[in-house]
Amino acid sequence: MSNLESLRRGMVGEGPRAGWRETIGARIAEVEPGRVAVELEVHAGHRHEGGVVQGGIITQIADAAMGMSLMTRQDEGMSNTTIELKINFLRPVVDGRLRAVGRVVDMRRTLLFSEADVIDQDGRLVARASCTCLAIPRPGGERA
């Protein structure tokens, strides 16, 4: 099964488990070649003591959307792991839905580049991220 098909199956709960999504309540909302959207309904468990969503939660959905967008373009049996990530936060979030949209920037033999925008339910930009990932064989999978 291709990475693209595997991620699409994950949208409807038929793909491989991803414990991090279960832990924070995120879901894969959209999967297209080179583009993946991850959504999260924010709740009190995502907020820090200052009353806004903790930056690590926003970073987590951005990182996932970027990594999965790259996977859609990788060969079957291949995956990736983040080796560098930068994120800028533009506005605080207290509640509502967040949507991280990851997109492929460039893919080399071993290094892969992606970006993501995180937007709130009103369509406002909350954060912008970029990452470099290392192409790796998928654990437990065979390389095509």
Q: Which domains does the chain have, with CATH numbers?
A: 3-137 (3.10.129.10)
- C-alpha count within 13 angstroms, C-beta hemisphere, residue 47: 13
Q: What is the dihedral of CA 80, 83, 86, 89, to 10 degrees?
A: 60
Closest CA to 31 of 85, 82, 101: 101
Q: What is the strand order of the sheet 96-107 is part of?
A: 26-32, 35-42, 96-107, 111-120, 125-137, 78-89
Q: What is the reported pLDDT for 4? A: 76
Burial of 87 (0-12, 13-18, 19+ CB in 10 A): middle
Q: Say what the pLDDT of residue 12 is.
A: 60
Strand-pairing partners, residue 120, are: 98
Question: What local confidence, expressed as pLDDT, does residue 130 receive?
Answer: 98
Which H or E element spans position 39? Answer: strand 35-42
- The C-alpha torsion from 91 through 117 and 120 to 44, rounded to 10°, is -70
* Cβ(63)–Cβ(131) below 8 Å: yes
- Tens-binned pLDDT, residue by residue, of the chain (144 aa): 787 777 777 666 666 566 777 788 899 999 999 999 999 999 999 999 999 999 999 999 999 999 999 999 999 999 999 999 999 999 999 999 999 999 999 999 999 999 999 999 999 999 999 999 999 998 775 444
Contact 136, 79 (CB under 8 A): yes
For 93, other C-beta atoms within 10 Å of its C-beta total 24
